[in-house]
Chain A
Amino acid sequence: MLTRRLFNQMGLGGVALLASPVRKAWAAGERPTITIAVDNLWANIAPINGISTTTRRFFPNFYDHIIDRDYIADEQGLVLAPRLATEWTQNGKVWTIQLREGVKFHDGETMTAEDVAFTLSAERLWGEKPYEPRGKTFTAGFVRVEATGPLTVEIETEREDPYIPGKLTGYIGFIVPKKYYLEQGVDGFGQMPVGTGPYKVTKFRSGEVLEMEAFDEHWNGAPPAAKLIWKIIPEYAGRMAGLVSGEFDFIANIPTDQEAQLESYSDVSVKRALAGNYPAFAFNCRPDPEDNPLVDVNLRKAMVQAVDMDAIVTALFGDKTFHPAVPFNFPEYGKFYDPDMPNPLPYDQEAARALVAMTDYKGQVLDWHITRQFYPNYEAAAEIMVEMWRQVGINVRAVILDNFDLVYTRPYHMMNMSMSTDFIPGDPYQPLWLDWGPTSSRATATWKTWDPTPGYLEAGKVFAEATDFEERKAAYLKLSEEWQKVTPGFYLWKSIYNWAHRADITWAPRADGEMRMFDNYIALPA
């Protein structure tokens, strides 16, 4: 049998190793280059136009937040910490943000309140024709953002909004330099961005590689690595082999069923975090196609009761994640979360059959549009669910399509989706109202799947305006109840982010998927 020793004795290994093509060594006392193999980068890395789970991995390495979520102090990241802002105070509808002094952008300019005001401005995010239109979603209620001093910014909102600091921990809180941004335009900026983060972007080829160098003038001191290289390695086999052989220091996105094998290597450490995101599917609740049986809420509820989601999640993920039995009752919502909340639609095939019997459904095939290999294990779960539905007399066909463009092409009865939960830390605003509300793409796009009901809209208005916790919790429960009356979707499980890295590196993952290569998130071997 050909072993590594025999191979080397044959001389082949010796020849290859002569040029050290594989394992890279870190010189003692020098700051190393960290190579991270990822499955994807993104076309544009401007903070808002580049929103994706992929970019979130590397954004905080070159952009700094105004306000940070501290996942080391709190596993759910519910503790807010100063970053570019040193303090923030509320006076009615106005928030005053005090900025850190002496912060430099990568182009050498000093950050001022003007830059921060521009970052959050109508011109860039929420005006008539903003540079990054998706910013509107995250700045609802903004009426004025103004630099009122060299290091002071005021944000005024329509109504009192206690959640502004939380909102600034998201994508809108990544600060950009006004002058450079306007010179480059949003597209140019998205190809060679400048921020205030601990590393500066030196090369970006969207389909290939992103390189960053240490920014030693960073306000919090020089970062631990001299260089970060984020390389696209599309095949998992290549990422895994490269990590084990020492070509890469980190890899991202490991198929769940491959984690155990990777963990068996002694010089590799596997990390995972439950993400603030839930894969789900939406029922098409509208009469489009005209004969859509899913307009009947009883059929939708029957489909929810017909699937044993706990069993499916255990089969596919073991105990690494869970199925949220009651929609929007998610553990990351702190005081809003009730672990004992009763499930109004538990797994019960008899109840499901009874609900089907109450409908006019005659066994028509329901098409479920699914994006190929977009959500880990989604297709496998779909196969099992289709069988469970068949057992109660509902015929679903999982239609696997190559991209979202095709998924959104009518006709369909169900479609895959996922929803994030972390826009406001510790508050269910995003999944419950932002993502299903009257301005959401789910209710407005050409491919929309539901029309919010008057009851939902009324409850949502109360919820959006509630600032006192008790009042807001009551409004949240009412809004959730209104949503469940319609049941326009079904949440499957909490997503898992996973990574692996050299075992001699100490690294702390974050539930928002950020791969921070600085501060107390990483310690490199001496």
Chain B
Amino acid sequence: MTRFWLFKLLRTLLTLWFVVTFTFIVLRTSGDPVVSLIGADALPEEIEQFREQWGLDQPLILQYLQYIVQMVSGNFGESLRDHRPVITIIAERLPWTLMLGLVAYLGAALVGIPAGIGAALRRGGAFDRAIMAFAVFGFALPNFFLGILLILLFSLWLQVLPSSGTGTIWHFVMPALTLSTFTAGTLARFTRSAMLEVLDKPYMRAAAAKGVPPVKRVLFHALPNAAIPIVTVIGLNIGHLIAGAIVIETVFAWPGIGRLLVTAVSSRDLAVVQALVLVIAATMVLSNLAVDLIYGLLDPRIRVGGR
């Protein structure tokens, strides 16, 4: 078991190192950030001064080594754009993304999973078809389109919800709804198919024969057995929490790290982009680790097999 976890940890660290290195090389070799950062009309001496100030005049390998040493000691550098520590900038923005993500994913789970279960229990019926139509709609509708549609409906026309930004609980409604629609659709589809797989299993028929009430059969017999694919989808979606927020945060001017990433990439703020890519990669990797752990809890065979 210990070896199993050590192996997973090592793999995680290697993945993160690969991401850091890949991002560093791609960002440094895909163009000069100076023009984007100090303007198209910057004078040659201004460009030179900027490069010197930020160490961009050093050989690439030296820049890389300095960056790794700094990063290992918890220093992600300063933003080239606004000269503040990257950690501070991310710490200001991350809670907003997490809050929005939490609300959206809770909402998506509360709608998507019961809808998927309901659709499976009424397979082929009108309810099933209605739920699946909603799921396809949620799954297929681009986030930016739904977001703008909601702004036009609720802010411009009905004038009952704020169009953008933060400040009150009402500011959460449209971004969370937009973000959760896709996830709820995905969850409903996966839950339905996972439930359909287990509903016909012999142990379900045995439970029914023993007189176990339908609600108990679904919640305590079917759902735990169908949980593996659902947990996988939830894990993958949580991994996408930050990456998926990019569009939503731009449309709704939400001050999270998705929008920060857009600004940093467009202005080639190297230090911020590198740190954010690392945060996104870490979220992905950690959510995968958490899913592995939950697999073990849900299914003892996986736990035993992992020894």
Contacts and interface: CB of A to CB of B under 8 A. Distances in A.
Nearest to A371: B40
B20 to A, nearest CB: 22
Interface residues of B, number: 51
Interface string B20-57: 00000000000111011111111111100100000000
A43 B160 contact: no
Contacts of A244: 155-156, 159
B152 A237 contact: yes
Given A405-B268, A444-B44, A237 B151 contact: yes
B165 interface: yes
Contacts of A16: 160-161, 170
A187 B39 CA distance: 15
A454 interface: no
Nearest to B167: A21
Interface in B42-89: 42-46, 49, 81-84
Interface string A5-17: 0010000110011
B160 A133 contact: no
Interface string A166-207: 000000000000000000000110110000000000000111
B171 interface: yes
B36 A405 contact: yes
Contact of A187 (B43, B83, B170, B255): B83
B82 A404 contact: no
Interface in B141-168: 148, 151-152, 155-165, 168
B178 interface: no
Interface centre among B46, B266, B267 (most CB of A within 10 A): B46
A22 B156 CA distance: 10
A231 to B, nearest CB: 6
A137 B43 contact: yes
B156 A207 contact: no
B195 to A, nearest CB: 33
A242 B167 CA distance: 14
Contact of A191 (B38, B41, B83, B170): B83
B156 A245 contact: yes
Contact of B260 (A7, A190, A207, A417): A207
A405 B265 CA distance: 12
Contact of B169 (A19, A404, A441): A19
A64 to B, nearest CB: 24
A129 to B, nearest CB: 7
A305 to B, nearest CB: 28
Contact of A237 (B148, B158, B162, B169): B148
A408 B31 CA distance: 10
A191 B81 contact: no
Given A133-B49, A187-B83, A22 B164 contact: no
A17 B36 CA distance: 43
A49 interface: yes
Contacts of B109: none
A133 B42 CA distance: 9
A333 to B, nearest CB: 21
A247 B163 contact: yes
B183 interface: no
Interface centre among B40, B156, B250 (most CB of A within 10 A): B40
B160 A12 contact: yes
Contacts of B155: 22, 238, 241-242, 244-245, 247
A264 interface: no
Contacts of A404: 35-36, 40
B257 to A, nearest CB: 10
A403 interface: yes
In the A-B complex, the 6 residue pairs with the smallest Cβ-Cβ separation, listed nearest first, are A21-B170, A241-B155, A16-B160, A241-B156, A241-B163, A133-B46
24 contacts: A21-B170, A43-B37, A49-B38, A134-B43, A136-B45, A205-B82, A231-B165, A231-B253, A233-B164, A233-B165, A234-B259, A235-B151, A235-B251, A238-B155, A238-B163, A238-B251, A241-B164, A245-B156, A245-B163, A246-B159, A247-B163, A405-B268, A408-B35, A408-B40
Interface of B: 31-33, 35-46, 49, 81-84, 92, 148, 151-152, 155-165, 168-171, 250-253, 255, 259-260, 262-263, 266-268
Interface of A: 4, 7, 12-13, 16-17, 19, 21-23, 37, 43-44, 49, 51-52, 129, 133-134, 136-137, 187-188, 190-191, 205-208, 231-235, 237-238, 240-242, 244-247, 402-406, 408-409, 417, 441, 444-445
